[in-house]
Amino acid sequence: MPKIAIIIGSTRPGRVGEAVARWVLGIAGQRDDAEFELVDIADFKLPHLDEEVPPSAGHYSRPHTLAWAEKIGSFDGFVFVTPEYNHSTSGALKNAIDFLFAEWNDKAAGFVSYGSVGGARAVEHLRLVMAELKVATVRAQVALSLATDFRNYSEFTPAGYHVAAVDTMLDQVVSWSNALAPVRAA
């Protein structure tokens, strides 16, 4: 059974990403085809990338990088919960991604985004980054509007139809994570 991380992609005080990620985890928790775990990048207290050697070399020296690598390396796939800031993802999420290389490789990823246009532009940027890291991104994604899925732009109140979209995205992440298992094993 694959192990899938649901990654909270914001560290900002007052963030809504945690509520969104917990909602996704609640939907995922009703499934029996994978293990799901919430991963909060804020818990890892990653500074701006401070490794002297590029991550693709796989020689991490900092305790925070080693802890992050161990956590990410333990998963078969990912669901990134990302805000959209300035037509892209958050700097904190991009920084956390950039710390590692091999731990992301040959795995699957799906996206749940939120923003003024559902976070669609953040996901487009993340798809490019994931391709470089050898992560297969799934087609289905969940786009949440700050105007319609949040009361006063801050209290998460998702429309009911999003549950089916989450399930479809999770179907694809689990399927692709399973399909890539032989590649990871090699």
Q: Which tens digits make up the pLDDT trace of 119-143?
A: 999 999 999 999 999 999 999 999 9
Residue 117 identity: V
What does the domain layout of the chain look like in residue ranges?
A: 3-185
Q: How large is the greatest C-alpha to C-alpha distance in the chain, in angstroms?
A: 49
Q: pTM of this prediction?
A: 0.97
Percent of the chain whose pLDDT exceeds 90: 99
- Strands laid side by side in the 77-83 sheet: 35-40, 3-8, 77-83, 107-115, 135-145
Fold of 3-185: Rossmann fold (3.40.50)
- pLDDT per residue over 82-121, tens digit each? 999 999 999 999 999 999 999 999 999 999 999 999 999 9
Percent of the chain whose pLDDT exceeds 70: 100
Average pLDDT of the residues in 144-152: 96
Burial of 175 (0-12, 13-18, 19+ CB in 10 A): middle
